[in-house]
Structure 1
Amino acid sequence: MLTGKQKRYLRAKAHHIDPIFQVGKGGINGNLIDQLNDALEKRELIKVSVLQNNMDEKEVLAEELARRVYGELVQVIGSTIILYKPSRNHKQLELPR
Protein backbone atom coordinates (compact mmCIF):
# COMPACT_ATOMS: atom_id res chain seq x y z
CA MET A 1 0.00 0.00 0.00
CA LEU A 2 1.37 3.38 -1.02
CA THR A 3 1.36 6.34 1.33
CA GLY A 4 0.19 9.79 0.24
CA LYS A 5 3.78 11.00 0.07
CA GLN A 6 4.75 8.09 -2.17
CA LYS A 7 1.77 8.68 -4.45
CA ARG A 8 2.70 12.36 -4.80
CA TYR A 9 6.27 11.35 -5.70
CA LEU A 10 5.05 8.85 -8.31
CA ARG A 11 2.56 11.33 -9.80
CA ALA A 12 5.40 13.82 -10.24
CA LYS A 13 7.57 11.18 -11.92
CA ALA A 14 4.70 10.09 -14.19
CA HIS A 15 3.90 13.64 -15.31
CA HIS A 16 6.38 13.49 -18.22
CA ILE A 17 5.57 9.91 -19.28
CA ASP A 18 3.36 9.26 -22.30
CA PRO A 19 0.74 6.48 -22.17
CA ILE A 20 2.14 3.30 -23.74
CA PHE A 21 -1.04 1.18 -23.63
CA GLN A 22 -4.64 1.78 -24.62
CA VAL A 23 -7.77 0.03 -23.40
CA GLY A 24 -10.53 0.11 -25.99
CA LYS A 25 -13.95 -1.44 -26.37
CA GLY A 26 -12.45 -4.93 -26.01
CA GLY A 27 -11.63 -4.13 -22.39
CA ILE A 28 -9.09 -6.08 -20.36
CA ASN A 29 -7.81 -9.41 -21.68
CA GLY A 30 -4.98 -11.80 -20.82
CA ASN A 31 -2.70 -10.48 -23.55
CA LEU A 32 -2.99 -6.92 -22.24
CA ILE A 33 -2.19 -8.09 -18.69
CA ASP A 34 0.91 -9.96 -19.92
CA GLN A 35 2.13 -6.89 -21.80
CA LEU A 36 1.45 -4.63 -18.80
CA ASN A 37 3.43 -6.97 -16.53
CA ASP A 38 6.38 -6.93 -18.95
CA ALA A 39 6.31 -3.13 -19.18
CA LEU A 40 6.00 -2.72 -15.41
CA GLU A 41 8.99 -5.03 -14.87
CA LYS A 42 11.11 -2.84 -17.15
CA ARG A 43 9.78 0.62 -16.21
CA GLU A 44 8.02 0.28 -12.82
CA LEU A 45 5.75 3.24 -13.63
CA ILE A 46 3.45 3.39 -16.66
CA LYS A 47 0.44 5.23 -17.99
CA VAL A 48 -2.53 3.53 -19.63
CA SER A 49 -4.99 5.48 -21.75
CA VAL A 50 -8.69 4.54 -21.80
CA LEU A 51 -10.25 5.16 -25.20
CA GLN A 52 -13.64 6.80 -25.63
CA ASN A 53 -15.19 3.63 -27.06
CA ASN A 54 -14.64 1.82 -23.73
CA MET A 55 -17.89 2.04 -21.79
CA ASP A 56 -16.51 0.78 -18.46
CA GLU A 57 -16.21 3.10 -15.47
CA LYS A 58 -12.62 4.35 -15.45
CA GLU A 59 -12.09 3.95 -11.70
CA VAL A 60 -13.38 0.37 -11.77
CA LEU A 61 -11.23 -0.39 -14.80
CA ALA A 62 -8.16 1.09 -13.09
CA GLU A 63 -8.70 -0.95 -9.92
CA GLU A 64 -9.16 -4.11 -12.00
CA LEU A 65 -5.91 -3.45 -13.91
CA ALA A 66 -3.97 -2.83 -10.69
CA ARG A 67 -5.38 -5.98 -9.11
CA ARG A 68 -4.63 -8.20 -12.11
CA VAL A 69 -1.01 -7.03 -12.48
CA TYR A 70 -0.48 -7.14 -8.67
CA GLY A 71 0.54 -3.49 -8.79
CA GLU A 72 -0.54 -0.23 -7.20
CA LEU A 73 -2.98 2.27 -8.63
CA VAL A 74 -1.34 5.68 -8.32
CA GLN A 75 -3.97 7.89 -9.95
CA VAL A 76 -6.85 8.08 -12.39
CA ILE A 77 -6.97 11.46 -14.06
CA GLY A 78 -9.35 11.97 -16.95
CA SER A 79 -8.94 8.97 -19.21
CA THR A 80 -5.41 8.17 -18.01
CA ILE A 81 -4.48 5.53 -15.45
CA ILE A 82 -1.10 5.55 -13.69
CA LEU A 83 0.16 2.19 -12.41
CA TYR A 84 3.21 1.34 -10.30
CA LYS A 85 4.79 -2.02 -9.54
CA PRO A 86 8.30 -2.38 -8.08
CA SER A 87 10.62 -4.25 -10.42
CA ARG A 88 12.52 -7.33 -9.31
CA ASN A 89 15.45 -6.98 -11.72
CA HIS A 90 15.37 -3.40 -13.03
CA LYS A 91 14.92 -1.28 -9.89
CA GLN A 92 14.86 2.39 -10.92
CA LEU A 93 12.63 4.28 -8.49
CA GLU A 94 13.39 4.74 -4.81
CA LEU A 95 10.20 5.68 -2.99
CA PRO A 96 10.26 8.15 -0.10
CA ARG A 97 9.26 6.78 3.30
Structure 2
Amino acid sequence: MTHERVEYHDVDPVGGGLHFLRDALDCANLGVSVLDVEAGWSGKPHDHEDDGQEEVYVLVEGAATVTVEDETVSMAAGDALRVDPASTRQIDTEEASLFVIAGAP
Protein backbone atom coordinates (compact mmCIF):
# COMPACT_ATOMS: atom_id res chain seq x y z
CA MET A 1 0.00 0.00 0.00
CA THR A 2 1.32 3.46 -0.89
CA HIS A 3 -0.59 5.31 1.84
CA GLU A 4 -2.35 4.90 5.18
CA ARG A 5 -5.15 6.88 6.80
CA VAL A 6 -6.11 7.08 10.45
CA GLU A 7 -8.56 9.22 12.43
CA TYR A 8 -6.70 10.43 15.52
CA HIS A 9 -9.79 9.98 17.72
CA ASP A 10 -9.51 6.23 16.98
CA VAL A 11 -6.06 6.11 18.62
CA ASP A 12 -6.22 5.77 22.41
CA PRO A 13 -4.86 8.92 24.06
CA VAL A 14 -2.07 8.98 26.63
CA GLY A 15 -1.37 11.81 29.05
CA GLY A 16 -4.89 13.20 28.84
CA GLY A 17 -5.17 14.07 25.16
CA LEU A 18 -2.00 13.02 23.37
CA HIS A 19 -2.59 10.64 20.47
CA PHE A 20 0.58 8.94 19.20
CA LEU A 21 0.01 8.13 15.52
CA ARG A 22 3.40 6.56 14.69
CA ASP A 23 2.27 2.96 15.25
CA ALA A 24 -1.20 3.48 13.77
CA LEU A 25 0.38 4.85 10.58
CA ASP A 26 3.31 2.41 10.66
CA CYS A 27 5.85 5.27 10.50
CA ALA A 28 9.37 4.00 11.07
CA ASN A 29 11.25 7.31 11.09
CA LEU A 30 8.61 9.98 11.67
CA GLY A 31 6.75 10.55 14.89
CA VAL A 32 3.39 12.26 14.42
CA SER A 33 1.09 13.06 17.31
CA VAL A 34 -2.07 15.06 17.90
CA LEU A 35 -2.52 16.84 21.21
CA ASP A 36 -6.17 17.77 21.80
CA VAL A 37 -6.65 19.20 25.31
CA GLU A 38 -8.76 21.57 27.36
CA ALA A 39 -7.78 24.95 28.80
CA GLY A 40 -5.43 24.67 31.76
CA TRP A 41 -3.77 21.42 30.62
CA SER A 42 -0.07 21.06 31.46
CA GLY A 43 2.28 18.54 29.93
CA LYS A 44 5.23 17.07 31.73
CA PRO A 45 8.65 18.62 31.18
CA HIS A 46 10.68 16.33 28.91
CA ASP A 47 13.38 16.18 26.27
CA HIS A 48 14.34 13.80 23.47
CA GLU A 49 18.09 13.74 24.00
CA ASP A 50 18.20 9.94 24.22
CA ASP A 51 16.40 9.35 20.91
CA GLY A 52 17.74 12.45 19.13
CA GLN A 53 14.26 13.43 17.97
CA GLU A 54 13.84 17.04 16.84
CA GLU A 55 10.21 18.17 17.14
CA VAL A 56 7.99 20.74 15.48
CA TYR A 57 4.86 21.85 17.32
CA VAL A 58 2.08 23.37 15.18
CA LEU A 59 -0.78 24.96 17.09
CA VAL A 60 -3.87 24.46 14.94
CA GLU A 61 -6.44 25.87 17.39
CA GLY A 62 -6.27 27.61 20.75
CA ALA A 63 -3.60 29.44 22.71
CA ALA A 64 -0.71 27.97 24.65
CA THR A 65 2.77 28.54 25.97
CA VAL A 66 5.69 26.22 25.46
CA THR A 67 8.55 26.56 27.91
CA VAL A 68 11.82 25.60 26.24
CA GLU A 69 14.62 25.44 28.82
CA ASP A 70 14.10 28.77 30.64
CA GLU A 71 12.28 30.63 27.85
CA THR A 72 8.50 30.82 27.61
CA VAL A 73 7.17 31.01 24.05
CA SER A 74 3.58 32.19 23.55
CA MET A 75 1.76 30.46 20.72
CA ALA A 76 -1.45 31.32 18.86
CA ALA A 77 -3.29 29.30 16.23
CA GLY A 78 -1.12 28.99 13.13
CA ASP A 79 2.21 29.24 14.97
CA ALA A 80 4.91 26.58 14.62
CA LEU A 81 7.83 25.99 16.98
CA ARG A 82 10.91 23.79 16.41
CA VAL A 83 12.65 22.35 19.48
CA ASP A 84 16.10 20.71 19.55
CA PRO A 85 16.25 17.16 20.96
CA ALA A 86 18.31 18.06 24.06
CA SER A 87 16.11 21.01 25.08
CA THR A 88 13.60 20.45 27.88
CA ARG A 89 10.10 21.49 26.87
CA GLN A 90 6.68 21.73 28.50
CA ILE A 91 3.31 22.76 27.04
CA ASP A 92 0.69 24.68 29.04
CA THR A 93 -2.63 25.58 27.42
CA GLU A 94 -4.45 28.83 28.06
CA GLU A 95 -7.58 27.69 26.23
CA ALA A 96 -8.74 24.47 24.59
CA SER A 97 -5.97 23.68 22.12
CA LEU A 98 -5.18 21.37 19.23
CA PHE A 99 -1.55 20.72 18.28
CA VAL A 100 -0.01 18.59 15.58
CA ILE A 101 3.47 17.47 16.65
CA ALA A 102 5.99 15.97 14.24
CA GLY A 103 9.37 14.60 15.20
CA ALA A 104 12.23 12.85 13.49
CA PRO A 105 15.82 11.97 14.36
Largest Rg, 1 or 2: 2
TM-score, normalising length: structure 2: 0.32
Which structure: greater strand fraction?
A: 2
